[in-house]
Amino acid sequence: MSSATNRPVIFLLSDSVGETAEFVVRAAASQFNGGDAVIRRIPYVDDKKTIRETVESAAEEGGVIAFTMVVSNLQEYLFDVAAEHDVPVVDIMGPMLNTLATLYEREPKREPGLVRKLDDDYFRKVEAIEFAVKYDDGKDPRGILRADVVLIGVSRTSKTPLSMYLAHKRLKVANVPLVPEVEPPDELFQVAPERCIGLSIDPDQLNGIRRERLKSLGLTAQANYANMERILQELEYAEQVMRRVGCPVLDVSNKAVEETANMVLDMLRKGGDST
């Protein structure tokens, strides 16, 4: 115990940020009259020199070491050096890893920082979903130039569900409906063609989809929205716009959203090559 502060000195060694170790140590220390301890966090430990210096400091101050390092050779080195200096060491992750290894019936990856990587992955997904909602259905053309991919097509070509599915794959997606009476936003012709994908569909299938949509809304199936002549006009107009953009085109007829999404992902990996 440090004579200068009369408080326990706890060194936290981590091969990542060290938040897990600090949280556990503070939780444990709180059980002792409020947990008034000196905590010194040493993050991103990946070399033996740092470990030895930390052990020597702990020995000088009468402190202890808690760690969440998962790399085996660094763990072993820490235990060896700590034994030389008679410094107590607490392995925070070890018991849980050993128990889970038995349950999973395999060894852990022992890769530093996986929790933070998972957290980053989660927040990227949330950000992509929020982006897809904000820039759905051409609400704000500014999203077109910020998107990882832009989907264009007539109404009921699965632009929105496809955008959301791709967002769960951490892609920022904007989609723009193509309507003959509405000029496409200028931004659509500024985006790189390989980042834009046109969605086409068989006219008869689109007619059936739109009829069902009208029924669900309690509207007559005779509305212009489901009129075949109107549908052909929209599809022809959409084809003209897609040619102007120069983007690859996917036929979504009789395809599930998941199937179309996998095709989009494949096209993006190939740089927009639709062949």
Residues 40-98 pLDDT 10s: 999 989 999 999 999 999 999 999 999 999 888 999 999 999 999 999 999 998 888 88
Most confident of 7-11, 99-103, 242-246: 242-246
| pLDDT > 70 fraction of the chain, expressed in percent and rounded | 92
Task: Find residue 174's DSSP bridge partners.
Answer: 150
Q: Which residue matches tokens 């496409």?
A: 184
Give per-residue burial for 127-160: e unless 16+ CB within 10 Å, then b. ebbebbeebbebeebebbeebbbbbbbbbbbbbb
Dihedral angle sign, alpha carbons of residues 12, 18, 19, 24: negative
- pLDDT confidence band for 221 (50 / 70 / 90): low
> What are the Cα distances from residue 19, in Å, to 27, 54, 67, 76?
12, 18, 11, 22
Most confident of 15-19, 29-33, 247-251: 247-251
pLDDT for 220: 74
pLDDT for 235: 98
Whole-angstrom distance, CA of residue 55 vs CA of residue 62:
10
**Angle made by CA atoms 133, 139, 145, in degrees to the nearest 5:** 85
| pLDDT > 90 fraction of the chain, expressed in percent and rounded | 65
Q: Which of 271, 275, 274 is nearest to 192 (CA)?
A: 271
pLDDT for 16: 84
274 pLDDT more than 60? no
pLDDT for 74: 93
Whole-angstrom distance, CA of residue 145 vs CA of residue 249:
19
273 pLDDT more than 60? no
For helices 48-61 and 72-85, what crossing angle results, to 10°?
30
- What the block records as the tokens of 144 is 């077109």
- CB proximity list for 223: less than 8 A, separation 6 or greater: 214
Helix (H/G/I), strand (E/B), else coil: 183: coil
